[in-house]
Amino acid sequence: MNYKTQIERGIELLTLCQKLQSEKDGVDRPEPFQIDQSKILDQFARDINWAITNMSAMHKLIPQMLELAELGRKLEAEGKIAVEYGGDYSQAALAFVRAEHGLK
């Protein structure tokens, strides 16, 4: 199962979680990200919306992390960085680029 499918499954599970909790509580909450003033947008519904927003951000963040890791391996092959066993190529690449441009 690829990461895109896993992200979508996570969003489905969060949506189901809200539905089941709403049934259990007897609270009529709107579907995530739907505006329905006849339903109750309580803290639980807001928390689910934030969790889904964060899960959705993974669609952008995972490819960026993979590209940074690729850059890190290239920088290591060029002798510009050293990544210890168990280290993170993406973090090492980002640290290198930030240092090269005077960013902390």
pLDDT in tens, 25-65: 999 999 999 999 999 999 999 999 999 999 999 999 999 99
CA 52/CA 65 separation, integer angstroms: 20
Average pLDDT over residues 69-89: 97
Q: 26 in helix, strand or coil? A: coil
Q: Is the pTM of this model over 0.85?
A: no
Q: List Cβ neighbours of 3 (8 Å cut-off, separation of 6 or more).
A: 58, 62
Q: Which two tokens stand for residue 79?
A: 């002798």
Q: 98 in helix, strand or coil? A: helix
Give me the domain span that covers residue 22. Answer: 3-100
pLDDT-based confidence at residue 101 (cuts at 50, 70, 90): very high
CA 98/CA 36 separation, integer angstroms: 45
**Structural domains of the chain, count:** 1
* pLDDT above 90 (res 1): no
Q: 73 in helix, strand or coil? A: helix
Q: 53 in helix, strand or coil? A: helix
